[in-house]
Amino acid sequence: CAKERGRNDMAYYEEGLAVAMRQRTSLEADLRHALERDEFEVFYQPRVCVHTRRVVGAEALLRWRSPERGLVMPDDFIPVCESSGLIMPIGLRVFEQVARQQAEWAARGLDLQISVNLSPRQFSHPGLLDGIRAALRVAAGRPARLEIEITESMLLARDERPREVLDAFEAMGMSIALDDFGTGYSNLAALQRYPIHTVKIDKTFIQGLDTDRPLADMIVSMCRLMRLTVVAEGVETCDQLDWIAGRAIDQYQGFLCARALPAAAFEARFIDEPLAA
Ligand code: C2E
Ligand code: MG
Ligand code: MG
Ligand code: MG
């Protein structure tokens, strides 16, 4: 009868919820161990100059090398790091690892600007700036060769906090990029109001239907007027690269050149031969 079915549905629902909660709790516990056991590894995806086709930088993209789960991608663990607060200590390790790697590569003649992603919880954390300063001190990092990647939603706070944080990054010598541009509020005024140096056009525009492209064209023109560096994300095909090369786009990232690679694989490919394609 219906009543019984309702009870059964409820039982299923509660069981499903309990399973999801157990999984989340065990993932969180595993992430804590992973931090203690140093299982987080930064991969690097080349940023290529559209005109010279040389590798001019890299984006730091985090991976979790778990002995039990294998190589885990950020979309599968960053959300739990965010909700648990673990993103703070993990994120600072990223800065430390990147600064060390950058110094090592610079000493061998590969001077790259490296960009590091911040998530909302990191961006609004009161200890962020001190944490980053400390991490860079430990690793003798060079802020002038670092770029911070934020997303538009982080600029929507009504208080002065986003400005204070961005001003502080700029004062340290870092540059600031708006990531996934075009997918959010695309508040062009924000580009003027905040110290932003780079705009990364989201891959949906690059890969998207031609109907998206007039909008992408408009964004590129605006960025050019504001003297921003424009980066195209998610370039996978030669056709997409041709389209980009015909526009005022400075750099691109994408599988066409390379996926994010472990540091050793990155340098094997790009230290001696920085030409991308
Ligand atoms: P994102 O910052 O927008 O990074 C770009 C994502 O697009 C990366 O996914 C990259 O591997 C992928 N990608 C690059 N080229 C192509 C392409 O040609 N085609 C396609 N389909 N994808 C491409 P990934 O590494 O899985 O990272 C996902 C997201 O996780 C990042 O998006 C970023 O928001 C976040 N993330 C990664 N590392 C960190 C980190 O250290 N800290 C924080 N807070 N977030 C991170
Ligand atoms: Mg990014
Ligand atoms: Mg992006
Ligand atoms: Mg993103």
Nearest to 219 by CA among 253, 264, 249: 249
pLDDT tens figures, 52-80: 999 999 999 999 999 999 999 999 999 99
Work out whether strand 146-151 and strand 175-181 pair parallel, antiparallel, or are unpaired: parallel
Judge whether residue 222 has pLDDT over 80. yes
Q: What is the pLDDT, as a whole number, of residue 3?
A: 72
Nearest CA to ligand 1 atom 25: 61
Shortest-distance atom of ligand 1 to CA 119: 44
Check if 91 has its Cβ closer than 6 Å to any atom of ligand 1. yes
User: Distance, CA 91 to ligand 4 centroid (Å)?
Assistant: 15
Check if 114 has its Cβ closer than 6 Å to any atom of ligand 1. no
Q: What is the pLDDT, as a whole number, of residue 76?
A: 97
Check if 78 has its Cβ closer than 6 Å to any atom of ligand 1. yes
Q: How far apart are CA 53 and CA 115, in angstroms?
A: 19
Q: How confident is the model at residue 83 (pLDDT cuts 50, 70, 90)?
A: very high
User: How many Cα atoms within 13 Å fall on the side-chain side of residue 108?
Assistant: 12
- Alpha-carbon radius of gyration of the chain: 21
Residues, CB within 5 angstroms of ligand 2 (ion): 117, 149, 179
How many other C-beta atoms lie within 10 A of the C-beta of residue 58?
A: 29
User: How many Cα atoms within 13 Å fall on the side-chain side of residue 41?
Assistant: 15
Ligand nearest to C-alpha 98: 1
Work out whether strand 70-72 and strand 40-49 pair parallel, antiparallel, or are unpaired: unpaired
- Burial environment of residue 267 by CB neighbours within 10 A (0 to 12, 13 to 18, 19 or more): middle
Q: How confident is the model at residue 192 (pLDDT cuts 50, 70, 90)?
A: confident
Nearest CA to ligand 1 atom 17: 234
Shortest-distance atom of ligand 1 to CA 260: 11
Q: How far apart are CA 55 and CA 109, in angstroms?
A: 13
Q: How confident is the model at residue 197 (pLDDT cuts 50, 70, 90)?
A: very high
What share of the chain has pLDDT > 90, as a percent? Answer: 73
Nearest CA to ligand 1 atom 4: 61
Judge whether residue 208 has pLDDT over 80. no
Note the Cα 41 to chain centre separation in Å: 14
Ligand nearest to C-alpha 147: 2
Enumerate residues 6+ apart whose C-beta is below 8 A from 4: none
Q: How far apart are CA 249 and CA 221, in angstroms?
A: 9
Check if 117 has its Cβ closer than 6 Å to any atom of ligand 1. yes
Q: What is the pLDDT, as a whole number, of residue 211?
A: 61
Q: Across residues 14-25, what is the average pLDDT?
A: 78
Contact 112, 57 (CB under 8 A): yes
Check if 234 has its Cβ closer than 6 Å to any atom of ligand 1. yes
pLDDT tens figures, 114-159: 999 999 999 999 999 999 999 999 998 899 999 999 999 999 877 8
Q: Which amino acid is at 165?
A: V
What's the whole-model pTM score?
0.92
* Residue to mutate (ligand 1; options 117, 240, 252, 256; most atoms within 8 A of CB): 117
Helices and strands (H, E) in the chain, number of each type: 11, 10
Contact 93, 60 (CB under 8 A): no
Nearest to 112 by CA among 277, 263, 219: 263
Nearest to 274 by CA among 111, 153, 74: 111
Q: Which amino acid is at 102?
A: Q
Answer with the residue of higher pLDDT: 117 or 12: 117
User: Distance, CA 47 to ligand 1 centroid (Å)?
Assistant: 13
Q: Which amino acid is at 17?
A: L
User: Distance, CA 61 to ligand 1 centroid (Å)?
Assistant: 6
Nearest CA to ligand 1 atom 15: 254
Contact 60, 40 (CB under 8 A): no
- Burial environment of residue 192 by CB neighbours within 10 A (0 to 12, 13 to 18, 19 or more): exposed
Q: Across residues 165-188, what is the average pLDDT?
A: 90
